[in-house]
Amino acid sequence: MLTETLHPSTARAGRVKRAVLGHRIFTVVLCLATAVRLVTMLGYRPGQLYWYDSFTYLDVASHPRPSLGFHPSGYPLLLWLLRPFHSVTVVVGVQHAMGLGIGVMIYAVLRRRGLPAWGASLAALPGLFDASFLRLEHGVLSDTMFILLIVAALTVLTWSPRPTARACAAAGTLLALATLTRTITLPLLVLVLIWSAVRRVGARGLVAGMLAGALPLVAYAGWNAHVNGRFTLTGGEGVVLWARTMTFADCAVIRPPAAERGLCPNGAHQDAASEYVWDPAASLNLLPGGRDGNNDLARSFALRAIMAQPLDYLADVARDTALAFAWTPVRHPERVTPAFGFAQGEWSLPPYPLVAKVRREYDPGISGLRSAQPWAGFLTAYQYPAYTRGPLIALLLLAGGVGAAAGRRRAALPWLAAMFLLAGPVAVLDFDHRYVLPVIPVACLSAALGLADLAQVAGVRRAGRGRADGGSGADARRAQVGTTSQLSGPAGNRRT
């Protein structure tokens, strides 16, 4: 107290030093994670641009508008905010910072819930060092923003044993923004509201979460109605669900009405459901208006097919979801390279009018990707060991599930979210290794909470057996306190 009175600056410095020392393991981890991101930015310039998604995002950012395509306009809003810099390099730099932020949130919430520094740091490692995340952050794609919003919402909801109304509202807003980034989040928002009701967060919390989640979506759909004449978030959800059914649909069983018979399989064959969206020989693309003009009809056919053949649909979803657990990444579809994409060379941009338009309106320095040595050489070798293999994902999900069922239920919400993020995209379209990446940090969060809960329950049971064997009450209490300290480290006296 005297030191704080006489030397406030010294006291503040001491508090900062103690805080850094308390998190020194994660400080080292975060510095190394920052270093590999700097290497990525030095090794590949200016950033990865994908035809056709990246250029569509940049075009919408230059002329903000709601979309009737496959993607809502949430991610282009971020690009619009960064447009004054006129630099794709700035965009990927911000996304690399987001990747670090995801790791910081996982570490922070786990420390808050009583895990030791080494355990919380370990849970953050895959998202911070997996080379697939480095590549994702280095591309003009919505994925990193999407993962950040999902992890932020889960952080808010798991920060305390029972979320406040303010926390529920914040989580609802974050999930609404994630929905406007990728519409697959909408069922997850509903799942979180159900979880909030089961957890009895109270009427205020439930209403706050519902309103905060609904208002941005209603506002965006209203904007879409004003601009495009349709009160909707996107215009392509029926098309992608129709593509999902093309791997099993049998119109002899479905018996569609005459208006939908033209959507039946017509002999065109693809090795992955998503390929039917783009196959010019597929039945939908042969109809007048193609995929752009038949979204509602495609949705009606797809729902009819799923109801007529539910077991076939579930079997296809289960088979494709299981691809995530392979040790060696599976080529699905065959034309893609599922992982290990860091290479050396130069890649030119396609000579399309949209490319020239984006270069003129967003970033005059946009060019094809080129590698630079020695950084690209390092990343080319680094990516092979720095890859989260499928069996590890399965173990993380298993640990979170067991912890959610047998522990103190702290892992339940992250585990449910991870399972949904794994199976949801497959259920509405197809499997893609890129779609698996959001599962990994959420699965790490659920596994860490689940394993900590299981260890704590085992410690309490051992203490109980000690009492039953004749140990004194004081001995049993000491055993229980010791178990909690092992789990929690310096935060062992916090409420969990």
Quick check: helix, strand or coil at residue 443? helix
Contact assessment for residue 163 and residue 171, using Cβ atoms and an 8 Å cutoff: yes
Are 193 and 244 in the same domain? no
The whole-number pLDDT of residue 51 equals: 87
Q: How many domains does the chain have?
A: 2
Q: What DSSP string runs through 230-246?
A: --SS-S-HHHHHHHHHT
Mean pLDDT of 21-27: 87
Q: Using 50, 70 and 90 to split pLDDT, how confident is the model at 335?
A: confident
Query: pLDDT tens, 164-217?
Result: 999 999 999 999 999 999 999 999 999 999 998 888 788 899 999 999 999 999
* Contacts within 8 Å (CB) and 24+ apart, 17-26: 22/117, 22/490, 23/111, 23/117, 24/117, 25/117, 25/118, 25/121, 26/107, 26/117, 26/120, 26/121, 26/124
**Quick check: is 170 in a domain?**
yes
Contact assessment for residue 341 and residue 329, using Cβ atoms and an 8 Å cutoff: no
The whole-number pLDDT of residue 453 equals: 87
Six-digit token pair at 312? Answer: 């076939």
337: closest CA among 227, 222, 433, 405?
Answer: 433
Are 254 and 281 in the same domain? yes
Are 263 and 196 in the same domain? no
Are 303 and 283 in the same domain? yes
**Quick check: is 172 in a domain?**
yes
Per DSSP, 387 falls in state S
**Quick check: is 161 in a domain?**
yes
Six-digit token pair at 235? Answer: 């215009």
Are 257 and 298 in the same domain? yes
Query: pLDDT tens, 412-458?
Result: 999 999 999 999 999 999 999 999 999 999 999 999 999 998 888 77
**How long a stretch of residues is the chain?**
496
Mean pLDDT of 324-330: 94
Are 226 and 242 in the same domain? no
**Quick check: is 260 in a domain?**
yes
Q: What DSSP string runs through 351-370?
A: --HHHHHHHHHT-TT---EE
State which of 286, 316, 346 marks the end of a domain. Answer: 316
127: closest CA among 95, 153, 109, 100?
Answer: 100
Mean pLDDT of 468-484: 50
Q: How far apart are the first and last CA of the chain?
A: 30
**Quick check: is 359 in a domain?**
no
Q: Please check the confidence at residue 155 and state whether its pLDDT lies above 70.
A: yes
Q: What DSSP string runs through 448-465?
A: HHHHHHHHHHHHHHHHHH
Quick check: helix, strand or coil at residue 371? strand
The whole-number pLDDT of residue 469 equals: 67
Q: Using 50, 70 and 90 to split pLDDT, how confident is the model at 4?
A: very low
The whole-number pLDDT of residue 465 equals: 75
The whole-number pLDDT of residue 61 equals: 96
Q: Which residues of 296-321 are buried (b: 16+ CB within 10 A; e: fewer)?
A: ebbbbbbebbbebbeebbeebbeebb
Mean pLDDT of 65-79: 92
Are 210 and 225 in the same domain? yes
Are 220 and 242 in the same domain? no
Mean pLDDT of the chain: 90
Q: What percent of the chain has pLDDT over 90?
A: 78
Q: Rounded to an integer, what distance in angstroms lies between the CA atom of residue 335 and that of residue 350?
A: 18
Q: What DSSP string runs through 102-119?
A: HHHHHHHHHHHTT--HHH
Q: Using 50, 70 and 90 to split pLDDT, how confident is the model at 470?
A: low
The whole-number pLDDT of residue 487 equals: 39
**Quick check: is 203 in a domain?**
yes
- Measured over the CA atoms of residue 82, residue 85, residue 91 and residue 97, the dihedral's sign is negative
Q: Using 50, 70 and 90 to split pLDDT, how confident is the model at 479?
A: very low
Are 259 and 273 in the same domain? yes
The whole-number pLDDT of residue 486 equals: 40
The whole-number pLDDT of residue 5 equals: 52
**Quick check: is 293 in a domain?**
yes
Reported as half-sphere exposure (CB side, CA atoms, 13 A), residue 64 has a value of 12
The crossing angle, in degrees rounded to 10, of helices 24-43 and 88-112 is 160
Q: Rounded to an integer, what distance in angstroms lies between the CA atom of residue 237 and that of residue 115?
A: 41
Query: Which of 56-60, 160-164, 490-494 shows the lowest mean pLDDT across its residues?
Result: 490-494
Query: pLDDT tens, 116-146?
Result: 999 999 999 999 999 999 999 999 999 999 9
Mean pLDDT of 274-280: 95
Q: Please check the confidence at residue 248 and state whether its pLDDT lies above 90.
A: yes
Residue 287 structural domain: 238-316
Q: Please check the confidence at residue 38 and state whether its pLDDT lies above 90.
A: yes
State which of 233, 255, 270 marks the end of a domain. Answer: 233
State which of 199, 215, 233 marks the end of a domain. Answer: 233
Are 169 and 215 in the same domain? yes
Mean pLDDT of 314-330: 96
The whole-number pLDDT of residue 13 equals: 65
Q: Rounded to an integer, what distance in angstroms lies between the CA atom of residue 415 and that of residue 436?
A: 14
Contact assessment for residue 46 and residue 365, using Cβ atoms and an 8 Å cutoff: yes
The whole-number pLDDT of residue 19 equals: 59
Of residues 485 and 426, the one with the higher pLDDT is 426
Residues ≥6 apart with Cβ < 8 Å to 488: 114, 115, 116, 494, 496
Of residues 460 and 174, the one with the higher pLDDT is 174
Are 242 and 312 in the same domain? yes
**What residues form DSSP beta bridges with 366?**
none
Query: Which of 255-259, 338-342, 357-361, 366-370 shows the lowest mean pLDDT across its residues?
Result: 338-342
Q: Rounded to an integer, what distance in angstroms lies between the CA atom of residue 99 and that of residue 18?
A: 26
**Quick check: is 17 in a domain?**
no
Q: Rounded to an integer, what distance in angstroms lies between the CA atom of residue 429 and that of residue 424?
A: 9
Are 242 and 260 in the same domain? yes
Q: Rounded to an integer, what distance in angstroms lies between the CA atom of residue 50 and that of residue 368?
A: 10
